[in-house]
Structure 1
Amino acid sequence: MPDAIESDFKYLTLDELQYELLEMLLKFDTFCKEHELRYSLDSGTLLGAVRHKGFIPWDDDLDVNMPRPDYERLLSIQSELPEGMHIINAKNSRFAYGFSKLCTDAIRAQEPSYEGSVDEMLWIDIFPTDGLPSNDSEAEMVWKRVHNATRQNIWASVNHQPEHGIRKFIKVVGGTLFRLGKPQERMLSAISEAASNPGYENAERVGCFVGSGGKFWSLPKNAYEKTVTLEFEGHLLPCMGCWDEFLTKLYGDYMQLPPETQRQTHCLKAWRV
């Protein structure tokens, strides 16, 4: 898809970006209700619902998670998504991670790390929630295997030009070496193996092998599945029942605002096409 000529467009403001993301989320919510798909707000989006009743003021993305069976069913019926929406992941694009993005055809949104390799469209991140071994130490070891395979695939796939100094050198050299070992195949294989042992239906605890900002979390499945609704920008949306435990594991004292220097975005540029 050719980029727009700069004189023909302007970048969306953060408020405009959040408005478009919310519209996408509401369409996704309607689709999930129509198809009886379970999902929960996730990560910073869930934190925003709890702490701000909407977006974290400086946030420029949306995150949801789905039980693995619902996630796989969503992928199987993606042709029925609302017009102008599509899903990308590592199986159908050069996207480097082990989760999926629900995208709109109407808005380009480019991250520096994918510039030159993927023409990104504005997205919602969709993370699969998997069953975990009942022993948290064993579960964390599995998570680390998936996390390491994912990191190697990322290093081999993305553009490291935005990095600086020794960090850039290490990632460029590491990425070159990782490309020799079919990193995408190894990542997808590690995810598939982790997701099947013990499998979501057979597990008593659940977690996410491929998201949550590189942090391991484990929750009781019965608490995760007890969905509650929380307000998000004036709308009531589904959230895991154990949201307090989840947010505490990810963020600690999550009601405390971070220092201004840590209020980071994806640094993306977004414009209408």
Structure 2
Amino acid sequence: MLIYVDKICKSNDLRYSIYYGTLLGAVRHKGFIPWDDDIDIVLPRPDYEKLLYILEKDLNYKLSTPMNENPYRYTFSKLFDPKTKLVSKQIFDYEDKNAGVFIDIFPLDGLPDLKEEQYSFALQMDMYKAGFMNTLGCLYARSYSHFRSAIKLLVKFPTYIKYRNQGNYNYWRDMYESYSQKYPFESSNLCGHLEYVKYQKAIYPTSWFKKENLQSIEFEGQKISAIKNADLFLEQYFGDYMTLPPEDERVSNHLYDFYWK
């Protein structure tokens, strides 16, 4: 799937980089982190929108985005392999009915230069995200335990009512999507995936993601696009990224089972 998307991006002159754990895997393992189970890529907002437009018409894979699926629980997009089936172990998971083996596709949006304004903007984005996460059915009670879900249904119900009185799921999702583009990528000095920018480790120079600062990097024997400042990114986000975690922490962050259909 990554090779397929890589070809689309290159043929349409779209800037993209592998991201998060996928970039870490490429640098440290020359491919997948052995206990990882997905692919992460990131694109500047203009290129992100162009890629979604292309993939939405694609017949080989299934694209799910905040705007083409209703309801949808994520702030970014996912590309699924329709020959596979994802089964979540989470109660009230609200995963896409077409979910399978996937690539996560993240948009990079611009940010203000001043830290105070960055943090204020991040808090506003958090409020909009909390709004649609708390008005999407019983998603607010999601858990890996039936007992904990039952407790959350009771304890967090007032939060659900608070957000629901201000607007429904569509209202909060639309507010998140529109406000995320307050600072255009191309005219901003800084950028980030807005879900995490209240943490300084998740704020980067936009120059890192400009076309001239992308390179080809080895990933499972293939040449894939990545930022030239991969080492700086990984050190900022993961710290001592070349040191393997303890064995008991070498597990996936996702509690999913995957099946061939």
Aligned pair in 2 of structure 1 residues 86, 103: CA closer, same or farther (>3 Å)? same
Contact 2:128 2:176 (8 Å CA) reproduced: yes
Per the alignment, residue 190 of structure 1 pairs with 176
Alpha-carbon distance between aligned partners in 2 of 1:151 and 1:242, rounded to the nearest angstrom: 32
Per the alignment, residue 252 of structure 1 pairs with 239
Deviates more, 1:241-250 or 1:207-216: 207-216
The counterpart of 2:193, out of the listed 194, 208, 217, is: 208
| 1:272 and 2:260 aligned | yes
Q: What's the C-alpha RMSD, in Å, of the aligned pairs?
A: 2.7
Contact 1:107 1:270 (8 Å CA) reproduced: yes
Unaligned runs of 5+ in 1: 1-23
Unaligned runs of 5+ in 2: none
Per the alignment, residue 36 of structure 2 pairs with 59
With normalisation by structure 2, the TM-score equals 0.83
Alpha-carbon distance between aligned partners in 2 of 1:49 and 1:167, rounded to the nearest angstrom: 37
Q: CA offsets per residue over residues 169-192 of structure 1, 9 Å max, x none?
A: 347643633444424522431342
Q: Secondary structure of the residue that 2:34 maps to in structure 1? A: coil
% identical equivalent positions: 31
- 1:190 aligned partner, one-letter code: Y
Per the alignment, residue 116 of structure 2 pairs with 137
Per the alignment, residue 215 of structure 2 pairs with 228
Q: Secondary structure of the residue that 1:146 maps to in structure 2? A: helix
Per the alignment, residue 20 of structure 1 pairs with none
Paired residues in the alignment total 248
Alpha-carbon distance between aligned partners in 1 of 2:196 and 2:219, rounded to the nearest angstrom: 21
Per the alignment, residue 169 of structure 1 pairs with 151
Alpha-carbon distance between aligned partners in 2 of 1:126 and 1:189, rounded to the nearest angstrom: 20
Q: CA offsets per residue over residues 83-104 of structure 1, 9 Å max, x none?
A: 3212102222222111100112
Alpha-carbon distance between aligned partners in 2 of 1:195 and 1:202, rounded to the nearest angstrom: 12
- 1:91 aligned partner, one-letter code: M
What's the offset of the Cα at 1:35? Answer: 1.6
- 2:61 aligned partner, one-letter code: M
The counterpart of 2:21, out of the listed 44, 65, 75, is: 44
- 2:100 aligned partner, one-letter code: M
Q: Secondary structure of the residue that 2:259 maps to in structure 1? A: strand
- 2:8 aligned partner, one-letter code: F
Q: CA offsets per residue over residues 187-238 of structure 1, 9 Å max, x none?
A: 43134223232x1111111111036998752212223321022211111111
With normalisation by structure 1, the TM-score equals 0.80
Contact 1:149 1:183 (8 Å CA) reproduced: no
Q: CA offsets per residue over residues 133-182 of structure 1, 9 Å max, x none?
A: 11233223212321343244334433624147668734764363344442
Aligned pair in 2 of structure 1 residues 168, 132: CA closer, same or farther (>3 Å)? farther
- 2:68 aligned partner, one-letter code: N
| 1:219 and 2:204 aligned | yes
Q: CA offsets per residue over residues 40-91 of structure 1, 9 Å max, x none?
A: 001000110111111011001110000100011122223443x321210222
Alpha-carbon distance between aligned partners in 2 of 1:35 and 1:249, rounded to the nearest angstrom: 30
Per the alignment, residue 86 of structure 1 pairs with 62
Per the alignment, residue 107 of structure 1 pairs with 84
Q: Secondary structure of the residue that 1:253 maps to in structure 2? A: coil
| 1:128 and 2:113 aligned | no
Q: Secondary structure of the residue that 1:29 maps to in structure 2? A: helix
